[in-house]
């Protein structure tokens, strides 16, 4: 990894490099994706089955697009019992964490007879997209489905691409069943997003679509936003480790590589106040690359988006963290909890050298669907909040409205909206 002494211009250059990875910048694919979305919207199942044949080489039709109970049972037989038990433990942790995010309706009663409040309701239906093939991650299945179930979503479906034999990844099916999915459909890509957004004869329309995917999936979610809600348009994975001289270089190196192995566009950045740690982390990375199975991918990721940034002091280092706003942030300093209070922008924070990032990916409980490409400045991790909506409640008695009537009329007339004012006046005209 390239080691750089921190300066403002350096940070700007890094940010520009990282932002180039965002799906919103992949305009060359937009026309293709929009054509698929429009075709599904117009021809529904007919187009859906054609794209599945063309892209996945699978013969899917109205009679076999829905995963059966027998296929789910087969998936459990193909996944080892040890892994099933691990998924169940992880699901329990994820469920327990998200239960604490529940919100409840409230009402405020006043003596004049007015009632103000907020009614919290779950979104009625949601769709979860899950990639297939080499990018099948059961952990993401748990992370997307469980918050929706905790929120109380009534109809929760999942779309995932089938193999050419018409099968769904067994690990994906097992995780979906453990998490509580209602139905699973064998369809992937931009066509699956469009099917859930507009509905076809086989796939129902939903109110919100969540879940990761490739550039076609990301752009399809962008295209259907407004017809349905979406979680976000996620970019490649990223990790930033913030540390001082107390960090163990071997641990830091291992954690940086844990994200760099995702793909060539993944980002791994070390920000440290210690020249010694910077140099030793680089040496440890070289050693790990000789043994890791995905070393070729890691090398490309580090060559393109890997940095070791050396800061003069911790305050400068924290400023850089807030500017980059990383998806995953590990804080390995003498007092990580105090350092954490100064960080404004990060998707998830891991405090101390034994809070390794994969702990969050798989097992701890907080959601691993996180804002990327600097969007942690204004977005939050996927949560129960993503599957609820709020309605304002207003109930006034005659006395309460009369007390407020003059102020309402003044406001309405000041804006030139006489019908608004009249709506109040007619109730109190002698």
pLDDT (tens digit, 9 = 90+) per residue, 289-305? Answer: 999 999 999 999 999 88
pLDDT given at position 120? 97
pLDDT given at position 21? 67
Percent of the chain with pLDDT over 90: 84
Q: Does 413 qualify as catalytic in the annotation?
A: no
pLDDT above 80 for 80:
yes
Confidence of residue 308 (pLDDT cuts 50, 70, 90): very high
pLDDT above 70 for 134:
no
pLDDT above 90 for 24:
no
* pTM given for the model: 0.91
pLDDT (tens digit, 9 = 90+) per residue, 387-429? Answer: 999 999 999 999 999 999 999 999 999 999 999 999 999 999 8
Task: Check the CA dihedral 376-378-383-387 and report its sign.
Answer: negative
pLDDT (tens digit, 9 = 90+) per residue, 363-383? Answer: 999 999 999 989 999 999 999
Which one from 238, 327, 353, 357 is the annotated catalytic residue?
327
pLDDT given at position 167? 93
Q: What is the mean pLDDT of the chain?
A: 93
pLDDT given at position 132? 83
| 292/296 Cα distance (integer angstroms) | 9
pLDDT above 90 for 199:
yes
pLDDT above 70 for 26:
no
pLDDT given at position 234? 79
Give 287's Cβ-side CA count (13 Å radius). Answer: 11
Which one from 98, 238, 262, 328 is the annotated catalytic residue?
328
Q: Does 327 qualify as catalytic in the annotation?
A: yes
């Amino acid at each position: 990894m390239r080691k750089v002494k921190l300066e403002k211009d350096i940070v700007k250059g890094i940010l520009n490099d990282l932002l180039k990875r965002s799906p919103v910048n992949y305009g060359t694919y937009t026309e293709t994706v929009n054509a698929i979305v429009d075709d599904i919207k117009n021809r529904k199942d007919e187009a859906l089955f054609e794209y599945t044949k063309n892209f996945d080489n699978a013969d899917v039709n109205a009679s076999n697009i829905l995963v059966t109970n027998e296929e789910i049972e087969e998936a459990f037989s193909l996944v080892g019992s040890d892994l099933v038990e691990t998924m169940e433990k992880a699901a329990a942790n994820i469920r327990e964490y998200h239960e604490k995010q529940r919100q409840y309706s409230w009402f405020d009663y006043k003596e004049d007879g007015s009632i103000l409040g907020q009614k919290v309701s779950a979104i009625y239906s949601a769709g979860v997209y899950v990639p297939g093939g080499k990018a099948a991650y059961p952990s993401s299945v748990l992370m997307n489905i469980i918050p929706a179930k905790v929120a109380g979503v009534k109809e929760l479906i999942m779309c995932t691409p089938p193999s050419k034999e018409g099968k769904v990844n067994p690990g994906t099916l097992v995780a979906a069943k453990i998490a509580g999915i209602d139905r699973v459909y064998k369809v992937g890509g931009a066509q699956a997003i469009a099917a859930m957004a507009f509905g076809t004869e086989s796939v129902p329309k939903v109110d919100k679509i969540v879940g990761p995917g490739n550039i076609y999936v990301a752009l399809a979610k962008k295209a259907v936003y407004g017809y349905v809600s979406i979680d976000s348009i996620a970019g490649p994975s990223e990790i930033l480790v913030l540390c001082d001289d107390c960090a163990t270089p071997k641990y830091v190196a291992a954690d940086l590589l844990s994200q760099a192995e995702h793909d060539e566009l993944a980002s791994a950045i070390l920000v440290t106040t210690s020249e010694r740690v910077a140099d030793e982390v680089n040496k440890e990375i070289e050693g790990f690359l000789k043994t890791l199975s995905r070393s070729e991918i890691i090398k490309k990721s580090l060559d393109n988006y890997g940095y070791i940034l050396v800061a003069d002091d911790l305050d400068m280092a924290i400023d850089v963290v807030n500017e980059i706003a990383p998806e995953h942030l590990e804080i390995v300093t003498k007092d990580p909890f105090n350092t954490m209070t100064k960080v404004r922008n990060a998707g998830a924070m891991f405090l101390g050298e034994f809070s390794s990032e994969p702990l969050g990916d798989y097992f701890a409980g907080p959601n691993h669907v996180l804002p990327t490409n600097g969007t942690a400045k204004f977005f939050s991790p996927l949560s129960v909040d993503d599957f609820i909506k709020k309605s304002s409640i207003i109930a006034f008695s005659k006395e309460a409205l009369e007390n407020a009537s003059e102020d309402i009329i003044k406001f309405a007339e000041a804006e030139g909206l006489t019908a608004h004012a009249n709506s109040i006046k007619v109730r109190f005209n002698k």
